[in-house]
Every structure is written in structure tokens, then in C-alpha cells.
Amino acid sequence: MTRTARVLLAALLALVLPALAAALDAPHDQTFLPNNCQECHQLHNALGTSLTSQVTISDACVTCHATHTSSRFGFPWYSTDQAVAGVSGAQHRWDATAINPAVGATAPDGNPEMMKRIIAGKLECSVCHNQHAANKGFSPPESMNVSLATSPPTTATGKFPTGLATGTGTLYLASSNAATAVATGYWLRVRTAGNVAASMDGGLTWWRPTTNTGAAWVADAAVPVGGPYLTTVDLALPNNPDLKVRFGGVPATDDLWKLFVSFPMLRSPNLSGAICLECHKDRAQPHAYVEVNDTGTKVFSHPVGEILNANTRGYDRGTPLDADGGVQGTNGDTNATNDMLLGPGGVVGCTSCHAPHNADSNSLTVDPR
């Protein structure tokens, strides 16, 4: 396809699919998907009803999510990883029927945005996830995904322009703050020794730091000159002043890193597992329902939506312990993936104990999330 044809296709897709054109957050933006909409959609002879290049939206998702073997988030995700209740699996199903009495699943008919994405009575990834926009308000307060690891340092993705050999430098995440984070994709490009430039649109425009701390960034040239950084100083990134990185190794001219900050891209709020209850409505039960519900029947399930010791009987701990009986969190072990996370105000939610992805039911292991 010629450049003119690609530009025309992008323009047509923007007209036909205005919802797609309105917002594309990292990593589904041009920093990682250079062809934008046409990475997943095609205007003519599309296989899927949403003009997708695959038969289902989920098929389009796993085209990438089943091939990224180096991701920090537990990819690849294969269809064989989907859960079979009581048997196996580490992932919530993305291809099952929405209504399944055997596992207490109903259609999310209380949420129009989720409901309209039930196709032929079956789930799609897009029922729970908005692949176009990352809404921080729909995520747990601590939930921020940064593709760059804190350790070990990440070697350069390659040289600029992309596709050339990997560079010599390293980069790692020095610090981040979910409360102030903005969903953004970055390219970081070392221009000369001690000078770096950043792009937030896949290399179309560039910015350079005015100080080696990244306290302020200004527009750079089309072929950037770059601004100062030190391997001994944390560098704050543009648009995310509390997202800081640190260079290591020996970065060379045009070493390039691609990284992003995002959220779980949820379709509905999930501050205390609320998105789970859209389909699993019978799990929305306080302690009184667990003891005796409104039909006079005992329900043998753990209560959700309440704080610890809501029944005032005094047998709940004030703070959950780790699975090994020790203190969890920053004062406990280094395994954050087995922490029993409470929602705002200390409310117990579905995700306090369950994980929809990469849940291996062994709380002593460290799971990539």
C-alpha cells in the first residue's frame, strides 16, 4: 500500500469510525501501532462486524497479545490459558457465552456500553476493556501499568529509525505515581552523549529536557538535538512529571526506547471489583446475605462491598495478612502480586482475592501483571 493510500484509508476510517478517531491511548496509539486504526481495522472486505481484520474483536486482540513474549504483563495470552471452571486456566474467558448459570454469569444488562459488545451472545475482550481509551477513573487507585521495568534495566529497543540494530544503553523506571499519571506512550531517543529527546506521537514531533532532571521540556527540531541527562540523575518524562527514568550502560547516538504508561483500559469502574458484578450480580452481597439472604436461604460466599468487621463480631483482622502469614505490602515480602488489596475506604471487593488475568491460584509465586 502506498503512503497516499494509507493516508486516504486513515481519513476514511476517521469518518466511518468516529469513536476510534476520538481517542487512542497508549499502548494502542501511534507510538506502538504506527498504522493506527488500520492495524486492527480494514475498510473493505473486513472479516469482523466492526470492520476488524479478524473475525472477532478478541481475535484481533490476541493477534498481538499472544505474540508479545517479552511483555511485563504476562503475555503471551493463549486461548488455552482461558479458565475452565474447577479444572484449569489462568485467564478469565474471552470467548464464552455471556449467560452461564453454572458459574453464576449473566449478561451485563445494567451497563449499555458493555452490553452492546456482547456479540451473538458471547463475550469479547472489549466487553470489559476499552481498547481505545484508558480511563484512570475506572481503575483501582494503585493500578498503573508502566511497560518499563524497575530492574533489570531494559536495553534499547533499537536504533532510530526503527528496525536498525539494538543499541548499547539501558534504561529503567526509577519512580512513578499512579495518582498523577497520564496515559501516554513515549519514544526516548539518545541523540549524542548526554543528550536525549522524547516523542509522544511515534517520532512525528520531538521534545527535549532543559535540565538533566527533566523538570521542563521544550519543543525540539524534526531531527532533534536533544537535551541534557545524567546517568546519575532521575529524569522526569514530559506530561508525567512523577514518572522518572534513569539511564545506564553506555547509551550511543540514536539508541531508542519505546515505553508507555497506561491503565487496564476498563469499560466500567472497578474500584472494588464493580466491573465483576456487572455479570456476576449474585456476588453483590453484604454480610447479612451471606448469613441469611432475602429469601431466607444461607449463601455460602464471602461478602463483598463492605469493610472488614462490618458485622461487628470482631473476628476480622484490621489489615489482611499475606498468604504465608506475614505482613503484606511494602513492609512485607517483595511479592506484590499476592497482596490482598482492598478498595477505597478499605472495602473488600472481588479483586481483593481474585485476578481476571494471570491468576495461578498459588499465592506464594510472583505473577507477571
DSSP 8-state code for residue 160: T
Distance CA 149, CA 72 (A): 7
Residue 68: the pLDDT is 79
Least confident of 47-56, 201-210, 228-237, 274-283: 47-56
Distance CA 264, CA 73 (A): 11
Q: Which three cell numbers stand for residue 357?
A: 488475568
DSSP 8-state code for residue 294: T
- State yes or no: pLDDT of 18 exceeds 50: no
Show me where the domains of the chain are located.
Answer: 3-136, 145-262
Distance CA 333, CA 2 (A): 54
CB-CB contact of 257 with 271 (8 Å) = no
- State yes or no: pLDDT of 133 exceeds 50: yes
Distance CA 294, CA 310 (A): 18
> pLDDT by residue (tens digit) across 299-309?
678 889 899 99
pTM: 0.85
> pLDDT by residue (tens digit) across 48-106?
888 888 888 899 998 888 887 777 788 888 899 999 988 888 899 999 999 999 888 99
Distance CA 21, CA 275 (A): 25
CB-CB contact of 51 with 164 (8 Å) = no
Residue 336: the pLDDT is 78
> pLDDT by residue (tens digit) across 319-335?
888 877 888 876 667 78
> pLDDT by residue (tens digit) across 236-276?
999 999 999 999 989 999 999 999 999 999 999 888 888 99
Least confident of 22-26, 49-53, 353-357, 361-365: 22-26
Least confident of 19-33, 85-99, 117-131, 213-227: 19-33
- State yes or no: pLDDT of 47 exceeds 90: no
